[in-house]
């Protein structure tokens, strides 16, 4: 009898302590998760996001919950960060605690072999390859061509009278052309136009609601992505036939070989080209837009930048030689 009583007491106290521990853990977890709403089961707040201007959705959340809030979008529980300190925490000081993942719908549009969807050797090798194709020595050779793209953009703005020029859109066009230049070198005009047209459809559908029904922005983007794959396949085929190696990103991707002698297949090359175009376009365009804004707002800063440019230009043989940066 004593033995049974002792056993029951031990069991009850064990269960009680376990329950208390669980409760404490739950409370702690609750404290650590930022404020916000997870919306409906499975769909979360996806419909709310897509039924209004995304800027309004996020602005309303920010006002209500602050710079760090939770939500549930496109099948993913998320924590949204809207402050430089929080971004630094994720990307710099505590980067080791995070693993980059993307919603499936986005992965499908870029291409599953793009390096940012991977970890391990494949990721390391491709990251090194992309970095080396964008090293200062490689970029230095492109400066005259980049300057030509910039001058042509300036001339096109100067010729539009009475029209409003949307800076970010123009910067997107500019960064796309520079991206194409660093990926392919001098690309045939026919291919450039085809890539531009289809990439623009892809870009428009990238953040749309992922319903793959005919006529939707998402479906149009998926079809444009397929065409982009076909165009890239033609460009790759032509390069291989002409045995043009090239020191651009495509050249690096075509020449890639692991220590075991493994090369990249056409899908891996195409997904990484679209991936780099995607990673480079909006990011660079927004930085350029902010630079223009600050130069416009601060005349002293603008004068200092102009003076520095003049000095570099004059040191390049009085402007007879194209601009180069050391």
**Which residues make up the interface to ligand HEM (CB under 6 A)?**
91, 95, 100, 115-116, 127, 130, 134, 276, 279-280, 283-284, 287
Closer residue to ligand HEM in complex, CB, 196/240: 196
- Residue 235 and residue 223: Cα distance in Å, rounded? 19
- Residue 97 and residue 8: Cα distance in Å, rounded? 43
Closer residue to ligand HEM in complex, CB, 62/289: 289
Report in angstroms how near the CB of residue 21 gets to ligand HEM at its nearest. 35
Q: 12-23 b/e with 16+ CB inside 10 Å = b? A: eeeeeeeeeeee
Q: Please, what is the end-to-end C-alpha distance for the chain in angstroms?
A: 90
Closer residue to ligand HEM in complex, CB, 127/310: 127
Closer residue to ligand HEM in complex, CB, 130/181: 130
Report in angstroms how near the CB of residue 141 gets to ligand HEM at its nearest. 16
Question: Coil, helix or strand for 80?
Answer: strand
Report in angstroms how near the CB of residue 51 gets to ligand HEM at its nearest. 28
Biggest distance spanned by C-alpha atoms of the chain:
105
Report in angstroms how near the CB of residue 284 gets to ligand HEM at its nearest. 5
Question: With DSSP H G I counted as helix, E B as strand and the rest as coil, what are the percentages for the chain, rounded to 5?
Answer: 70, 5, 25
User: Helices 217-241 and 189-206 sit at what angle, rounded to 10 degrees?
Assistant: 150
Report in angstroms how near the CB of residue 129 gets to ligand HEM at its nearest. 10
Closer residue to ligand HEM in complex, CB, 216/284: 284
CB 138 within 8 A of CB 146: no
Residue 34: CB atoms within 10 A of its CB come to 15
Question: Coil, helix or strand for 261?
Answer: coil
Closer residue to ligand HEM in complex, CB, 100/144: 100
The label of the residue with tokens 């780099």 reads 276
User: Helices 120-133 and 266-297 sit at what angle, rounded to 10 degrees?
Assistant: 50
Q: Count of alpha carbons within 13 Å of 228, Cβ hemisphere only?
A: 28
Report in angstroms how near the CB of residue 239 gets to ligand HEM at its nearest. 20
What DSSP character marks residue 70? E
Indicate the burial class of 195 (C-beta count within 10 angstroms; 0-12, 13-18, 19 or more). buried
Closer residue to ligand HEM in complex, CB, 74/115: 115
Report in angstroms how near the CB of residue 314 gets to ligand HEM at its nearest. 29
Report in angstroms how near the CB of residue 99 gets to ligand HEM at its nearest. 9
Report in angstroms how near the CB of residue 95 gets to ligand HEM at its nearest. 6
Q: Count of alpha carbons within 13 Å of 16, Cβ hemisphere only?
A: 6
Which residue is closest to ligand HEM by CB? 283
- Residue 112 and residue 272: Cα distance in Å, rounded? 9
Closer residue to ligand HEM in complex, CB, 224/277: 277
Closer residue to ligand HEM in complex, CB, 130/222: 130
């Amino acid at each position: 009898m004593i033995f049974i009583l002792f056993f029951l007491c031990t069991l009850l106290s064990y269960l009680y302590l376990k329950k208390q521990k669980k409760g404490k853990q739950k409370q702690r977890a609750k404290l650590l998760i930022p404020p916000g709403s997870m919306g409906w089961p499975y769909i979360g707040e996806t419909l709310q996001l897509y039924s209004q201007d995304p800027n309004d959705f996020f602005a309303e959340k920010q006002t209500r919950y602050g710079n760090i809030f939770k939500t549930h979008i496109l099948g993913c529980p998320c924590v949204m960060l809207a402050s430089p300190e929080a971004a630094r925490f994720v990307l710099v000081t505590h980067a080791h605690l995070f693993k980059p993942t993307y919603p499936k719908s986005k992965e499908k549009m870029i291409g599953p072999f793009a390096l940012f969807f991977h970890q391990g050797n494949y990721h390391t090798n491709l990251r090194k390859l992309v970095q080396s194709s964008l090293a200062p020595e490689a970029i230095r050779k492109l400066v005259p061509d980049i300057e030509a793209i910039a001058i042509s953009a300036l001339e096109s703005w100067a010729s539009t009278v009475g029209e409003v020029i949307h800076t970010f859109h123009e910067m997107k066009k500019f960064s796309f052309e520079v991206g194409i230049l660093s990926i392919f070198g001098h690309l045939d005009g026919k291919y450039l136009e085809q890539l531009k047209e289809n990439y623009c459809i892809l870009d428009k559908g990238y953040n749309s609601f992922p319903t793959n029904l005919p006529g939707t922005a998402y479906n149009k983007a998926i079809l444009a992505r397929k065409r982009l794959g076909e165009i890239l396949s033609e460009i790759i085929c032509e390069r291989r036939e002409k045995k043009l190696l090239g020191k651009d990103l495509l050249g690096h991707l075509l020449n890639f070989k692991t220590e075991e002698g493994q090369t990249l297949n056409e899908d891996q090359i195409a997904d990484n080209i679209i991936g780099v175009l995607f990673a480079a376009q909006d990011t660079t365009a927004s930085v350029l837009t902010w630079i223009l804004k600050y130069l416009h707002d601060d005349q002293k800063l603008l004068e200092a930048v102009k003076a520095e440019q003049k000095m570099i230009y004059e040191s390049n043989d009085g402007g007879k030689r194209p601009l180069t940066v050391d």
